[in-house]
């Protein structure tokens, strides 16, 4: 069998939550130096394992706070797991927080080249793709406007356009279709479908089970940091909905 493009091996992610509130940085520092800071341990993920094969479209489903977005960030390399490991055998286009990498004082033009550099592309490459990025984002009239003057929808359009202009091996999406107007959401879905038909692997998080069933053939249900189910999307979604109706999710 072919090597998985993503391998999540026994991943746990622990956060330390402060037991008491400190009003100032000075108070925090004093307590830290005196070893008077106490924390509660919170596991966002607890010994989660699954593999994703090349070309698969996989959704992570579950309620708010279940650990889905944390898992995406671990796979994207934004966060490192407390224990366990993640292997990704290919390039990643992470659509986790659209526009998070923008310098708000720079123009759309400048941010396109800045993001390209961060993604490892040289200026010649970005010159070649610049026009199609702007056209997809529908920002032809705002190329030289500072991004701080953009609406959240405009920022989302620019972020999505940059991230998906080059067809990466793995597309990681976290609620990306919840932003922008209806027409832009349809453009996003069409571009993602085009990428999937070209062999791109999709890892998708959405609270819309309708979108999950449209885009993904397989789903992994994460519940309070634990993997609760993994299988065909229709079956896992039905199990998830039934559990919610019983008050067990």
How would residue 29 be classed by pLDDT, with cut points 50, 70 and 90?
Answer: low
Beta-strand (E) ranges in 109-244?
170-174, 201-205, 218-223, 226-232
Q: Could you tell me the CATH superfamily of domain 6-245?
A: P-loop containing nucleotide triphosphate hydrolases (3.40.50.300)
- pLDDT of residue 33 exceeding 70, the answer is no
Residues with Cβ within 8 Å of residue 27, at least 6 apart in sequence: none
pTM of the model: 0.80
> Residue 108's pLDDT band (boundaries 50, 70, 90)?
very high
Per-residue pLDDT band at 34 (split at 50, 70, 90): low
d(CA 49, CA 152): 35
For 112-167, what is each residue's pLDDT tens digit? Answer: 998 888 777 889 999 999 999 999 999 999 999 999 999 888 888 898 888 888 77
Mean pLDDT in residue range 172-176: 80
Q: For all residues of the chain together, what is the average pLDDT? A: 86
More confident residue, 180 or 140: 140
The 8-class DSSP code of residue 54 comes to T
CA distance 157 to 35: 47
* Contact indicator for 70, 11 with CB cutoff of 8 Å: no
Q: How confident is the model at residue 91 (pLDDT cuts 50, 70, 90)?
A: confident
Residue 70 structure tokens: 């944390």
Residue 38 has pLDDT above 60, yes or no: no
Contacts of 164 (CB under 8 A, 6+ apart): 93, 95, 171, 191, 192, 195
pLDDT band at 36 (very low <50, low <70, confident <90, very high): low
* Three-state DSSP state, 100: coil
pLDDT band at residue 27 under the 50/70/90 scheme:
low
CA 20 – CA 38 distance, rounded (Å): 8
Q: Are 174 and 96 in contact (CB under 8 A)?
A: yes
- Contact predicate 53/203, CB 8 Å: no
Confidence of residue 89 (pLDDT cuts 50, 70, 90): very high
The per-residue pLDDT for range 55-72, each reduced to its tens digit, is: 999 999 999 889 998 999
Q: Which of 94, 45, 73 is nearest to 202 (CA)?
A: 94
CA–CA gap between residue 247 and residue 45 (Å, rounded): 21
What's the CA gap between 132 and 125, in Å, rounded? 12
Report pLDDT for 18: 57
For helices 123-137 and 108-118, the axis angle rounded to 10 degrees is 130
Which residue's entry shows tokens 């279709």?
Answer: 177
- The 8-class DSSP code of residue 167 comes to -
Q: Is 62 exposed, middle or buried (0-12, 13-18, 19+ CB in 10 A)?
A: buried
Parse the chain into domains and list their residue ranges: 6-245
Query: pLDDT-derived band of residue 179, with 50, 70 and 90 as boundaries?
Result: low
Higher pLDDT, 87 or 167: 87
Give 2's DSSP letter. P
């Amino acid at each position: 069998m072919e090597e998985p493009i993503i391998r999540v091996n026994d991943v746990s992610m622990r956060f330390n939550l402060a037991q008491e509130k400190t009003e100032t940085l000075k108070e925090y520092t004093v307590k830290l130096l005196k070893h008077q800071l106490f924390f509660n341990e919170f596991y966002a993920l607890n010994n989660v394992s699954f593999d994703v094969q090349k070309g698969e479209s996989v959704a992570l489903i579950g309620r708010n706070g279940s650990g889905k977005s944390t898992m995406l960030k671990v796979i994207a390399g934004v966060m490192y797991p407390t224990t366990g490991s993640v292997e990704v055998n290919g390039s990643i286009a992470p659509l986790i927080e659209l526009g998070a990498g923008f310098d708000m004082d720079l123009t759309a033009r400048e941010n396109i080249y800045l993001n390209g550099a961060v993604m490892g592309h040289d200026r010649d490459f970005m010159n070649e793709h610049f026009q199609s990025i702007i056209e997809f984002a529908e920002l032809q009239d705002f190329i030289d406007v500072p991004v701080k003057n953009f609406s959240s929808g405009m920022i989302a359009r620019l972020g999505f356009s940059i991230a998906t202009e080059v067809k990466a091996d793995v597309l990681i999406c976290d609620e990306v279709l919840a932003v922008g107007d209806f027409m832009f959401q349809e453009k996003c879905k069409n571009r993602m479908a085009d990428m999937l038909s070209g062999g791109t692997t999709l890892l998708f998080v959405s609270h819309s089970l309708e979108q999950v069933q449209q885009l993904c053939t397989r789903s992994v249900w994460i519940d309070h940091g634990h993997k609760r189910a993994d299988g065909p999307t229709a079956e896992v979604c039905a199990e998830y909905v039934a559990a919610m109706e019983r008050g067990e999710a």
